[in-house]
Each structure stands twice: as C-alpha cells, then as structure tokens.
Homo-oligomer: A and B are copies of this chain.
C-alpha cells in the first residue's frame, strides 16, 4: 500500500495538484467562481446566437449547451466563501450581507437552467427559446443586485 500511495502522490505532484490540496485560499475561490461563470458564458454564446436568429437553430447543439449550463449552475456557490468578499472580484458585499436572498436567486437560476435542459431534450424550438428567455432573466436578477456594474 505504501508503494501505491507513493506512486499516486508522485503522479499528483507531477501534475501540480498536490501542492494546492491542503488549502484553498480566498484568491483560489474567486478564481474558481469566475472560471465557472466564464465557462457558463461560453455555453450561453451559441444559445444566444440561436435565440436571436443569428445562427440557425440546432436542436442537438442547444441541448448540449443547455445541459452544460445546468451542470455548471450547481458549481459556483461554493466559491463564495466567507473570506472571499475582498480582492479581484465583481461580487458585491450583498452576496455576504444578504446571503439568504443571494442563495434564493442562485437557486432560481439553477431551476431555470434545469428547466431549459428539460425543454431542450423535448426539442420544441418555440418552448426552448421561451425558456431561454427565463434563464436570461434569472441571470439578470442576480447580476442586478449582487454584481458590480461594469
């Protein structure tokens, strides 16, 4: 077992992960949640283009991106750690001072994303575009009050 652990450890060290295992700093948390939202944004792009008619509607592509946004929607919350309110962040202090409301809007976003993935699976273009609008509203509802305007 000792030998196995040593091999595992050296593999992890080699990929530069072991060093970060012990602690995740406030900086790491900020970088993490921003990375999740960046990944969401990439997936929103093609869906937005389809919703606006800039790109032809592609059922399979829409389903892929909607599924990914749903998966991602469950990830950022844990990045809003207690000590990560300062630093290079666009998160307003209200994320921490009005936590219940923040988490309520985050939950609403998750629900709208889940609904979109569901509707995308069914494949009706009009229903998909309508639900995509609802998802957009749930993004905006949180950005309006909890993110610094840029």
When all copies of this chain in the complex are counted, the total is 2
The answer to whether B11 and A54 have CB atoms under 8 Å apart is no
User: Are A39 and B32 in contact (CB-based, < 8 A)?
Assistant: yes
* A17 adjacent to B4 (CB under 8 Å): no
- Please report which residues of chain A, range 1-34, place their CB below 8 angstroms from some CB of chain B when the two chains form the complex: 4-5, 7-9, 11-12, 14-18, 20-22, 24, 28, 31-32, 34
CB-CB nearest in chain B for A133: B8
Residues of B within 8 A of A38 (CB): 31-32, 35
User: How many of chain A's residues touch chain B, expressed as a range?
Assistant: 35 or more
Contact, CB under 8 Å: B133 / A4: yes
CA of A136 to CA of B11 in the docked complex: distance in angstroms?
6
- Interface hits, A127-150 → B, CB 8 Å: 129-130, 132-133, 136-137, 139-140, 143, 150
**Distance, CA A136 to CA B54, complexed state (A):** 41
Given contacts A17-B44, A17-B136, A24-B42, contact A12 B75 (CB under 8 A): no
Q: Could you give 14 example pairs across A and B, Cβ below 8 Å?
A: A4-B133, A8-B129, A9-B52, A14-B143, A15-B136, A17-B41, A17-B44, A21-B49, A24-B42, A34-B35, A35-B36, A35-B42, A36-B39, A71-B71
